[in-house]
Chains A and B, each alone.
Chain A
């Protein structure tokens, strides 16, 4: 840590609302070290290509990340085709088969609940809800965060000051309390509505990351060169700077996805999530609480699903980060 390059206290951790920490030393400070694709020299281009290869090699070697990615793709496809794949409708009541433990008989892989609804189907639909919310949150917060972060990092001045104060505020706020107030005021309801409420907080961390990268990139020589040659602001931003922020943006995207899923589940658990009858994993766990001592699968099945998805996303994120971090040695 040199004195000059020392981040101020507030800039130290790059927190998402769920406070996801990096695993490697270099991540704490150096979000600058991203793939550099230079338009001006052939040498740099060769380097960029080999860096990309290095990334691919590292990521592919990261078995956990690869396995997780495959797992997520399967879950994603399963959730997308929930209507075709679920053996039962999520509201289909069969009182005769109520309280069944997981079994292959009647395809009740996850058992049934007190009303005899097939729990596998309910968890599958619940997963679909979670993923819908998370994907919308991720897309929205990425779009907003990138735009605001890029503007702040590029123009600095008051845009930057306002953004930084705002992110300071959001970082120390109890996110769940804010979301609960928002959900209570603006009404809970459809997955889209919940996603909009969540995106309210989640874009901030991404804006901060993009700002950091832009701040350092604008001092890079090739950006200066592009500016000297009369390129417009927008062209410099989109053509020269944005491609270099893709790495951090993607890594942050995984963090947002994982924490959005967990926060959505928490809201649902507290009764402020997606309105019934649409199943949500958090609500399934909440509903299963009363009988959890005798019917373990009511909280285990949705819970394990939830944790597996979040874990897989975090593993993928870790693999991406490792791959994108040029200082990280393979071992």
Chain B
């Protein structure tokens, strides 16, 4: 298991390196970042040339690439194109905020989805099964941003009618969030709607996979063997079926992390959360390549880390994987 884990870890290093090539290649080769500045009347040609020289934009691409790579560990992705502010503090802040949104959403979604999938499969073709199936169809036929907007409308309408504001519909914290437990509760209160909006798609998707793999496992020979041994249904489900059925579902969840980031971009925009997604959209609008590259790099690392984690869980659940 240890060598398996080590091997998995080592494999992820070239992937990160490849990611830096792709990110730098895509962003740098796609055009002159100063192009847009020329159109702006209040910026002079000298100013542009100074930025160009400062940033080494005339140097060959390998040199520029190497300069960018060096900046990652030494000065945390360097500075913004037009202002001498460092990028990393901003990125760190939004990354932590986004993790507060994404991690609970995914964990909650996964638990709910596994439960729904198991029960649906155990009671195939029951009312419960049909209901969750139909709801999950809605779940992945509905754009997340629209569902989030509906939640906002609902909360505000409830406020209009009852005068009670059950959930905040924007921001991560109140104006005076307090400290300690009060801060935490305030944050949870603010994050409930975004988490719900983000989780709904994952629940719909993972529960389908869980149901499908659970159905396959339920009808497998080894479950029949367990039954023939006289093992109780409850124990068969927990010990024999679920463990096997979780393996493909975890794979799907790990591979879906990119989708979750996509979801976070949308949800943060709708709820005005100071996270990775909103930051990304803002920087795209400003056409500044440096924070965009930094953002893409951080996301690549996060995805690789989560895949590594999934690999380890996978190796733990499935003994066959450890030896291949």
- Chain A residues within CB distance 8 Å of chain B: 1, 3, 6, 9, 12-13, 15, 17-29, 171-177, 180-181, 184-186, 258, 262, 265-266, 269-270, 272, 282, 285, 289, 292-293, 296, 299, 303, 306-307, 310-311, 313-315, 318, 331
CA distance in complex: A272, B265 (Å): 13
Q: Give chain A nearest CB distance to B145 CB in angstroms.
A: 5
B311 proximity list for chain A (CB < 8 A): 9
Q: How far is the CA of A86 from the CA of B143 in the complex (A)?
A: 25
Closest Cβ of chain B: how far from A247's Cβ, in Å? Answer: 18
Closest B residue to A175 by beta carbon equals: B262
Check B258–A24 contact: CB distance below 8 A. no
Partner of B265 from the list A19, A177, A314, A331 (CB cut-off 8 Å) is A177
Q: Which of B138, B248, B258 has its CB near the most chain A CB atoms (within 10 A)?
A: B258
B208 within 8 A of A: yes
Contacts of A173 in B (CB 8 A): 258, 303
Q: Is the CB of B259 within 8 A of A174?
A: yes
Closest chain B residue to A259 by CB distance? B140
Residue with the highest number of chain B CB atoms closer than 10 Å, among A26, A29, A303: A303
Give residues of chain B (285-303) contacting chain A, Cβ–Cβ below 8 Å: 287, 292, 295-296, 299, 303
- Tell me if B88 is interfacial: C-beta within 8 Å of chain A: no
B266 touching A266, Cβ below 8 Å: yes
Give bound CA distance, A303 to B150, whole Å: 10
Inter-chain contacts of A21 with B (CB < 8 A): 140, 205-206, 208-209, 212, 252
| Residues in B whose Cβ lies below 8 Å from that of A331 | 125
Q: Which residue of A lies closest to B280 (CB)?
A: A177
Q: Which of A29, A176, A296 has the most CB of B within 10 A?
A: A176
Query: Across the interface, which residues of B come within 8 angstroms of A180, CB to CB?
Result: 265, 280-281, 284
Given contacts A269-B145, A270-B265, A270-B269, contact A172 B255 (CB under 8 A): yes
Contact indicator A303/B220 (Cβ below 8 Å)? no
Known: A285-B145, A311-B138. A24 touches B153 (CB 8 A): no
Min CB gap B193→A, angstroms: 15
Q: Which of B144, B149, B153, B311 has the most CB of A within 10 A?
A: B149
B20 at the interface (CB under 8 A from A): no
**Is there an interface contact between B258 and A175, defined as CB atoms closer than 8 Å?**
yes
Q: Select which of B142, B212, B255, B258 is within 8 A of A307 by beta carbon.
A: B142
> At the interface, yes or no: B69 with Cβ under 8 Å from chain A?
no
Q: Mark B133-145, 1 if CB is under 8 A from A, else 0.
A: 1000110111111
Task: Give CA–CA (A293, B153) in the complex, Å.
Answer: 6
Q: Kindly provide the distance from the CB of A187 to the nearest chain B CB, expressed in whole angstroms.
A: 10
Cβ contacts A to B, 18 pairs, < 8 Å? A12-B248, A13-B255, A24-B212, A25-B212, A172-B307, A173-B258, A174-B261, A175-B262, A176-B262, A176-B263, A177-B262, A181-B27, A186-B30, A296-B153, A299-B146, A306-B143, A307-B141, A311-B141
Quick check: is B97 within 8 A (CB to CB) of the other chain? no
Given contacts A15-B252, A171-B258, A174-B259, contact A185 B143 (CB under 8 A): no
* Pairwise interchain contact A185-B209, C-beta atoms closer than 8 A: no
A276 to chain B, nearest CB (A): 16
Residues of chain A within 8 A of B26, CB atoms compared: 181, 185
Is A19 a contact of B146 with CB atoms below 8 Å? no
A-B pairs with lowest CB-CB distance, top 10: A176-B262, A21-B208, A174-B261, A25-B215, A310-B141, A311-B141, A25-B216, A174-B258, A303-B146, A13-B252
Q: Besides the contacts A13-B252, A13-B255, A21-B206, what 7 more A-B pairs have beta carbons closer than 8 Å?
A: A1-B220, A13-B251, A28-B216, A269-B266, A293-B157, A307-B146, A331-B125
Given A175-B262, A177-B296, A293-B157, the answer on whether A23 and B208 have CB atoms closer than 8 Å is: yes
* Known A-B contacts A23-B208, A174-B259, A180-B280; A285 and B149 likewise in contact (beta carbons under 8 Å): yes
